[in-house]
Structure 1
Amino acid sequence: MGDGNVETAPTSFAVPPPAAVAKRAALVIAATFDSLGLQGPLSIWLRALVGLEFCTPQWVGYGMVVESIRDEQSAWNANGSGVNVLLLRAQDFARALQLSRSQLDAGDGAGDGGEASTTEAAIAALLDALRDSCSRRRGPTVVLLPPTSDADASSCAAQRSLAALLWTIRGVTVYDEANLRGSLGSVRYHSPFLDRVAHAPYSPAACSAFAGVIVRELARALAPRKKVYCLDCDNTLWGGAVGELGAAGVSMGDEWLRVQRHFVALQQRGALLCLISRNHEADVRAVLRERRDEMALREEHLVAIRADWAPKSRHVLELASALCLGLASFVFVDDSPSECADVAAHCALHGVSVVLLPRDPKMAEPFLESCWALDEERARFGPEPAVLTAEDAERTALYRQLDERKQFVRGQSAVSSAATGASASASLDAFTASLNLRVDVRPLDRRAESSGALRAAQLSERTNQHNTCKWALSAPRLLACTAGSTCLTVEASDRFGHHGLVGLIVLDEAVMAESTSPPVTLLAPQEAERAGLIRQSTQGESAADDEEET
C-alpha cells in the first residue's frame, strides 16, 4: 500500500481490556458515494487489532448523509462519545442534484449557473448540519476527502475548498487529498467505470487504504494519552555502544539526530523523556555533556536517566511509581528485540506501548512517523497544533521538582516515624510548615486567548481522576458554557517551585446539576472551606491537581 501512514499498525498497541473497548469503540460511517467496497477491508482491519474486533461499525444508508447528520435521533448523533467518519466528495452533490432533476423534469430550464448555486447550497447545508452535530457530540468526527481522478481539475479544486471549510468546524479532523494520496502510494485508486454505473468510485486497494486510516483514527481515539517516552541510547539515539567506544567514539550522524529531534519535539509539547540504558550512568551523561553541541537532545530535556544492568522492564515500573503516572501513559522505544520482549512481557498488560525500531538507522525517522503506537492525541479544535501552555513548557522541570519533593518527604517521614506522641504531632506540623505551600485562588481571566483560559480548557481535556464531569472543551466553548457562573482558577507553589495552574472551580448550582455540564475540577472540600469559597455541598473526594496525576 505504498509509503503512507496506514500500514505500520503496531502489534503491541496498548488498548484497554476488551470489555472496556467494546463499550467505547462505537464507529458510525457515512459516505456520499456507495461505500459497500469499504466494508470488507474495514472488517479485516478491525479483526486484526486486539480489542477492536469487538467494534461493529454502523453504516448510514446510501443517499441519506445530510438527513442522518441533521436527525438528532439518528445513529450518527446517538454516537455521543464514539468516532464518526464521513467520506465526502464535492462532486457527489452535483451528481445527486442532476439525478434528482432528471427524474423530475430533465427540461426544467435550469442553467449551469443555477446548478452550481444549488450544489453550493447543498454543501453549505451539509456543513451546517455537521457543525450542529459536532456541537452536541463529545466524540471525534473524522472527514476523509478521497482524491478524485487526476484529469478532473475542477473536482480537485472543489475538494481543496471543501477541506478549508471543514477545518473551520470545531471537533472535525480532516484527511484531505494530499494526506490520502500519501497513504495510497502508486496504486490505481479510481475506477471511472464503477463510478459511472454503480457510484462506487474506488478500487479494492484504495478501500483498504481508507479502512486503515479509519481504524487508525479509532485506535488513536481509544488509546490512553502518551505522556512518558522511555528511550534506549546505544543504536537508538546515537550509533555504537558508548561502553565500548567512549563518548567521543559514538556516531552522531544525521540519521541519529533526526530521531533525537523527533522526541525533543514531543518534549517541547509537554511529554516527558527518560533514558533507560544498559551502560554506566556516567558514560551516558558523558555523551550528553561532551557531545552536547552536536546533539539535538540535551540533558535538560530529560526528567530521569536509568543506566545499569537491571532489566529495563524494572526501570519502567519504577519510573511509573516515581513520576506518579499510570503505566498506560508510557511508551518504551528500543532497537533490541530482546529488550522489547522483556518490557512487553512485564509491562504491556499494564498498558505500556512497546516500539521496536528498525535496525537500519535511515529507516528510523519514517518508521516513527508511521508507527501507530507513537500517534499523538489529535488537536480537538482545528487544524492548527494544540495550544501550548506555560505548564507544557515547564513540565520536565516540574517533574524534576517532584523528585526533590519526594526525597524531602522521605527524609521528614523518617524523622516523624522516630518520634512518638506529642513530638510526632509537632514534627508533622513542622514538616507541613516547612513545605511553604501556597495556594492562590483567583477569578478566571475570561479572555479567550488568555493563558488562564487556555490552561483551564486544557484541564478539561486531560484531567481524569479529579474531574466531576469529563467533557473536553476549547477555551471559547468553556467560557460560553460558564457564562454567568463564578469561575475560579487555582495555582499552587511550594519551597521547590511553582506548580502552575492546577485547578478550575465552577460555582453555579444550575450548571453543576446539568448532566451535560462542563468539566469541573474542585479543591478538596476542607481547603475550599478555609478559603471561604464553597456555596454548595460536594460529594466524594475532590482535589485540584494537574492532568498528569492519576
Structure 2
Amino acid sequence: MDSLRLAIAASFTADPIDDVLSHWWDEWGVPARTEFAPYNQVFQALLDGDGPLARNRRGANVVLVRVDQWRDGLAGADELAEAVRQSAGTAAVPHLVVCCPPAPGADGAAAEAHLAAALAGDARVRVITSADITDQYPVADYFDAYGERSADVPYTRAMFAALGTVVARAVHAWLTPRPKVIAVDADNTLWDGVVGEDGVLGVRVPAGRRALQEFLLAQRAAGRLIALCSKNTEADVLAVLADHPDMVLRPEHVTAHRIDWRPKSANLAALAAELDLGLDSFVFLDDNPVEVAEVRAAHPEVLALALPAAADAVVPYLRHCWPLDHVRVTADDERRADRYRVEAQRRAARTEAPSLASFLDGLGLVVDVRPMAPADAGRTAQLTQRTNQFNLTTVRRTAAELTTVDVLVVEVADRFGSYGQVGVVVHGARGDRLAVETFLLSCRVLGRGVEHRVLAVLGALARERGLADVALAYAPTDRNRPAYDFLTGLPGVRRDGDAFLVSTSDALAARYEPPVVAPTAELSTAAAPLAERAPADTTHRIASGRTTAAQVLAAVDARRAAAPAAAIQTDDPTEAHVARIWAELLDFAPSSVHDNFHELGGHSLALVRFAVRVRDDFGVELPVDALFTDAFTVADIARTIREHQSADLDDLLAELEQLTDDEVRALLDADR
C-alpha cells in the first residue's frame, strides 16, 4: 500500500499532534507520514505552488488555525477562505480546515461560522469548528499558557490528543469507503424485551432505545439505508414499528427487511441482493455477540458490531464508530433512502410485467446526458470515487481534476421518479477517434439500457466532430466485470490495445436487447463456522475505549512506553524518569546521564515539549536558562527538578506553619 501523506500548515506550533496521528495510523494499519509547513505560514503554504501542500498527491492537506489570533475575525475568515479555495482548486487531495479552540476568555465563534459558511459549497474542503472538536472530545484543561509563552505551543497534551483524533477521523472518513446500509436487529436492540413474548405493546422503548432510533434516522437523513435483520415473526416486528406509541423508527423509514428464522448471515446476503449492493457496504448491529460472530464468520466484509448491553451506552458507542462518520452530506445523499424505496416499487412493477422488455418499455426511461456544470463537480467526483462495477477504468478523480477535462454527466428518471446524477463520461478527441477515458454508471441504473443510450450520445458527438470511432478505454479490475460484459457485447466492437473501438455508426445505433432471465437459485441458509475479523475488532476497540481525549492520550503514551527503555545506568528515580522522557522525544535513549541533549540532536521544539512533559510529570516549570544551556544533561535537569521540588516543599511548610489548628482541621475536612 502506498504511504498516506498529511501536509499540515498551522498558525501555531502544532508538531505535538504528530504522535497522536502516528498512533491512529498504527491503529488502523495505514502506512502514513506527516509533513509540516514552516511555522505560522498558513497563507504562504496554501498559495505556494511548490510547497508541501501543493506536492501532496495522496492523502489530505490540513490547515490548523486559531481564529482568536486574527485582528478582524470576519475579514480573516474571508482571506483564509479565498486562499483555501485557490489551494484546493489546484491540489490533488482534499483540504481539511480545523478551527482550533481559542484562548480562555476569547470568542471566535462568529469568525469560525463565517469561515465554514464561506467554504460550505466546496466539495474539496471540509471545515471543523472548535465546537465540533469539544463536542466530540471535550477537554477541560485544554490551554497551556506556559507552552504558548515558551514556543507558541498553546494546548495541553490532552488537547493535542483531541485535535489529532479529530483530524485522523476526518481523514479516515475522507479516504476510506463509507458503508451504505445499517442493518439492525429488533428485540433488545430497537426496544427492550421480546415482542414474541411480551406482545406488540408490551415491549419497552426507554430513552436509550429511542436515542438509537433517532441516531438511525439521522444516518438515514445523511444518505444511509436502514434495514431490519431479525429472527422473529415478521408481522410482530412490523406491528411494533407501526403501532407502538413510543417508537421513533417507523415502517416508512426502513428500506428493506428480512424477518424470519434463517441465519442472519443468509438474510444479510438476501438484503444485499435485493438492494443490489455489496456486503462490504453493510454495517450490522445486534445485541447478541453470538449472532455478530456468526455474521463475521460468514461475511467478513460486513462490519458486524455487538452493541453494549446497557441501552444508554449504545449511542455513545456508535458516535465513536469511525466508519459511520460522514465527510459531507450532498443533496443526492439526502434523497438516497427515498430513492431506494421507489426502487422497491419498480421491483414490484417488474414482477408484474410479463417480460423484462415490456417492463422496460413501461418505465418511461429518460436519459439526459449534458456537460458538467460547476455545481455538479462534487457529486461527479463522488461517483468516480465510489463506482466500481460499471466503471471502465476506475480512475478516481477529484473535483479539481474534473474541471480540467471535458466531462459529461448522466441523469436518469422514469415514471417512478428521478435517479439523480448516476453517470460520468470524460472524453476528448484523439486523432480520428472520440477517446473516452472514463465511462461509469451507478449500479442502480444497470440493466435498463442506460449505458447503450449514453453510447449513442457519444456516437452523435463523434459524428458532429467528423470522427470515425468511439474509443472506450478499459482497465480490468476484480469488480468491473459488468463493464467488460457491456463492451464485449457491442456489435462490431474491436480491440486496440487497452481500448474497445466502436464505429461511430455502430455507436449511434446502440440499443439494449434485454436478456431472458433464468430463475435464481435458492439462497443457502447454512451457517458458517465462527471467526473474528480484525477491522471490526479495531472499530469496536476504539468505540469502547478510545472515546475521550484522556483515553487517547493514554494509548499514545502506551505506544511510546513500548519503545526500548532508556539504557542509562542510574539509581536515581528522577534521572531515570527524565531519561525516559528524553528517549521518547528524540526516539533514542541517552547512553549516560551526562550526555548533552543538544549534541545528540535536540532542537528547540523538542526542548519545549520536554519542558512541558517535566511540568506535567513533576509539577516543575523549568526556567528558560536551564533549557538553552550547554549543561543540559539528564543529571543537570534531574538536579534542577529536585531543587525546585525542595523549594516548593519549603514554601508549603512555611505556609502551613502560619495556619492555626482550626484552619488546618478545616483544610483536612475539605479534602475528605
Q: Which residue of 1 aligns with 2:37?
A: 60
Q: Which residue of 2 aligns with 1:141?
A: 95
Aligned partner of residue 28 in structure 1, secondary structure: strand
Q: Which residue of 1 aligns with 2:187?
A: 234
Partner residue of 2:471 out of 524, 532, 538: 538
Residues of 2 paired with 1:74 and 1:492: CA distance? 45
**TM-score normalised to structure 1 length:** 0.71
Residues of 2 paired with 1:389 and 1:72: CA distance? 34
Whether 1:208 and 2:166 are equivalent positions in the alignment is no
Q: Which residue of 2 aligns with 1:528?
A: 455
**Residue 208 of structure 1, CA deviation:** 0.9
Whether 1:45 and 2:11 are equivalent positions in the alignment is no
Q: Which residue of 2 aligns with 1:366?
A: 316
**Residue 319 of structure 1, CA deviation:** 2.2
Residues of 2 paired with 1:486 and 1:128: CA distance? 26
**Residue 308 of structure 1, CA deviation:** 3.0
Q: Which residue of 1 aligns with 2:105?
A: 151
How do 1:168-247 residues align onto structure 2 when only pairs under 5 Å count? 171-247=124-200
Aligned partner of residue 275 in structure 1, secondary structure: strand
Contact 2:225 2:336 in 1 (8 A): no
**Residue 309 of structure 1, CA deviation:** 3.3
Residues of 1 paired with 2:201 and 2:147: CA distance? 62
Residues of 2 paired with 1:446 and 1:183: CA distance? 37
Q: State the AA in 2 paired with 1:398.
A: V
**Residue 269 of structure 1, CA deviation:** 4.1
How do 1:124-135 residues align onto structure 2 when only pairs under 5 Å count? 126-135=80-89
Partner residue of 2:357 out of 416, 428, 432: 432
Q: For 1:283-324, what per-residue CA distance to the aligned partner results, in whole angstroms no more than 9, with x for missing partners?
A: 223323443x54222223223322233332232233223322
Residues of 2 paired with 1:509 and 1:503: CA distance? 21
**Residue 138 of structure 1, CA deviation:** 4.8
Residues of 1 paired with 2:378 and 2:112: CA distance? 32
Q: State the AA in 2 paired with 1:145.
A: C
CA 1:193/1:167 → structure 2, altered by over 3 Å: closer, same or farther? farther
Q: State the AA in 2 paired with 1:29.
A: I
Whether 1:76 and 2:53 are equivalent positions in the alignment is yes
Whether 1:509 and 2:428 are equivalent positions in the alignment is yes
Contact 2:6 2:61 in 1 (8 A): yes
Residues of 2 paired with 1:65 and 1:171: CA distance? 18
Q: Which residue of 1 aligns with 2:305?
A: 355
CA 1:511/1:341 → structure 2, altered by over 3 Å: closer, same or farther? farther
CA 1:205/1:269 → structure 2, altered by over 3 Å: closer, same or farther? closer
Q: State the AA in 2 paired with 1:537.
A: V
How do 1:387-536 residues align onto structure 2 when only pairs under 5 Å count? 387-388=331-332, 392=336, 394-401=338-345, 403-404=347-348, 431-436=356-361, 438-442=364-368, 444=370, 459=383, 462-467=386-391, 469-471=395-397, 473=399, 487=408, 489-491=410-412, 493=414, 497-498=416-417, 500-501=419-420, 503-504=422-423, 509=428, 523-525=450-452, 528-529=455-456, 533-535=460-462
Aligned partner of residue 180 in structure 1, secondary structure: helix
**Residue 405 of structure 1, CA deviation:** 6.9
How do 1:301-316 residues align onto structure 2 when only pairs under 5 Å count? 301-316=253-268
Aligned partner of residue 538 in structure 1, secondary structure: strand
Q: Which residue of 2 aligns with 1:33?
A: 12
Q: State the AA in 2 paired with 1:300.
A: E
Residues of 2 paired with 1:158 and 1:431: CA distance? 57
Residues of 2 paired with 1:184 and 1:498: CA distance? 42
Alignment gaps of 5+ in structure 1: 1-18, 94-115, 380-384, 413-429, 545-550
Q: Which stretch shows the higher mean deviation, 177-186 or 462-471?
A: 462-471
CA RMSD of aligned residues (A): 4.2
Q: State the AA in 1 paired with 2:419.
A: G
Task: Give aligned-pair identity as a percent.
Answer: 30
Contact 2:88 2:125 in 1 (8 A): yes
Residues of 2 paired with 1:538 and 1:257: CA distance? 55
CA 1:354/1:122 → structure 2, altered by over 3 Å: closer, same or farther? same
Contact 1:240 1:250 in 2 (8 A): yes
Residues of 2 paired with 1:120 and 1:363: CA distance? 40
Q: Which residue of 2 aligns with 1:89?
A: 66
Structure label with greater radius of gyration: 2
Q: State the AA in 1 paired with 2:397.
A: W
Residues of 1 paired with 2:289 and 2:57: CA distance? 40
Residues of 2 paired with 1:63 and 1:435: CA distance? 61
Q: Which residue of 1 aligns with 2:205?
A: 252
Residues of 2 paired with 1:136 and 1:234: CA distance? 51
CA 1:373/1:156 → structure 2, altered by over 3 Å: closer, same or farther? closer
Residues of 2 paired with 1:237 and 1:489: CA distance? 39
Residues of 2 paired with 1:526 and 1:167: CA distance? 35
CA 1:208/1:514 → structure 2, altered by over 3 Å: closer, same or farther? farther
CA 1:223/1:65 → structure 2, altered by over 3 Å: closer, same or farther? same
How many matched pairs? 461
Q: For 1:51-76, what per-residue CA distance to the aligned partner results, in whole angstroms no more than 9, with x for missing partners?
A: 32x12222223244333322223231
Contact 1:30 1:85 in 2 (8 A): yes
Q: Which stretch shows the higher mean deviation, 176-185 or 225-234?
A: 176-185
CA 1:508/1:172 → structure 2, altered by over 3 Å: closer, same or farther? closer
Aligned partner of residue 295 in structure 1, secondary structure: coil
Q: Which residue of 1 aligns with 2:663?
A: none
Q: Which residue of 1 aligns with 2:298?
A: 346
**Residue 332 of structure 1, CA deviation:** 0.6
Q: Which residue of 2 aligns with 1:420?
A: none
- Where relative contact order (Cα < 8 A, 6+ residues apart) is larger, the structure is 1
Contact 1:27 1:56 in 2 (8 A): yes
